[in-house]
A and B are shown apart, each in its own frame.
Chain A
Amino acid sequence: MTTLWWIADILLLVAVLPIVVYLLNGVLRAARSIVPSVERIASAAAAGSKDLDATALLLTTQEQVAKTVAGVAEYGGSLDVIIDDAS
């Protein structure tokens, strides 16, 4: 009976403990490898959000385009009056 207990102790120390350590070390390495990636993603998302700060100017562009097209339409109307048609 005592011999079986010794065998169990040896198994615990030689097999179970190294396997547990190996598996936990793998989990820890995987978690550590995720951290830099997440930090890069966070910085990229922040930079992308900052790049989109100028989208508010699109409203000004929209307004200017409408005014420009209106001016072109008036200019075209004037040209239509002062220039003869081709045919």
Chain B
Amino acid sequence: MLVASIEPVGAVAIVAAVLIVLALVVYLVATILQLRKITAGLDGVIASVGEIIDKSAPVNDVVNDINAHLDAGVDLLEGLLVQKAGMQDALGLVEGLYPGSAAAGFRNFPDSATTRAPRIGEVYTKGTLTLARLGREAPIAMANPAGPVLRNVEGGSLAARSLYEDIRHDSPEALPRSPVIGTDAPVQYEQRDDIGAPRRRLPDRAPGRNDPS
């Protein structure tokens, strides 16, 4: 009865309004569902970020404490190295381990930056270098102290000579080798010609003054 009394123009208006409301409902409900998913995801994010904050809270203090201990160790070893080896050789040790680091010098010795470092890493043993390495903020026991020595045993004198290259060295780099001696030597010196020959007879003695005959 009511529908029959509505004019066509009014019916079209009502249909249009219903369509608009339907579109609003469909899209807004879908949007609400997506926003709920976003809310759930953000809840997970907040929980994880809270865990990260809780877990990383003491890191700063712990790392600062570790750095303070390591700084004390570095200061101790640098001081010991300079005290025992001297500034120049201590810098040479460090330069041998980390080429170019001698230019930075030691932290507690401002004049070390201007000290000239000798090429000392060629003759010191690995144990010495490891000891020095501990003082330069390197990982402890990075190199095995039980490994072969860095010092060239056979050419040790030449390596030691290269420590201070500004000093003129007059001796030749390689001396002639010493002659091989012994019965198995390729060249026999002072060869005896009586070996294998009949024994020589001694001359008869002349009668002496005390001879009873």
Contacts and interface: CB of A to CB of B under 8 A. Distances in A.
Interface of A: 2, 5-6, 8-9, 12-13, 16-17, 20-21, 24-25, 27-28, 31-32, 34-35, 38-39, 41-42, 45-46, 48-49, 52-53, 55-56, 58-59, 61-62, 65-66, 68-69, 72-73, 76, 79-80, 83-87
Given A65-B66, A73-B73, A49 B51 contact: yes
A58 B59 contact: yes
Given A24-B24, A86-B84, A13 B48 contact: no
Interface string B46-74: 00110110011011001101100110110
Given A41-B41, A52-B55, A20 B23 contact: yes
A10 to B, nearest CB: 8
Interface of B: 7, 9-10, 12-13, 16-17, 19-20, 23-24, 26-28, 30-31, 34-35, 37-38, 41-42, 44-45, 48-49, 51-52, 55-56, 58-59, 62-63, 65-66, 69-70, 72-73, 76-77, 80, 82-86, 89, 134, 140
Nearest to A2: B9
Nearest to B46: A45
Contacts of B63: 58
B20 to A, nearest CB: 5
B20 A35 contact: no
Nearest to A76: B80
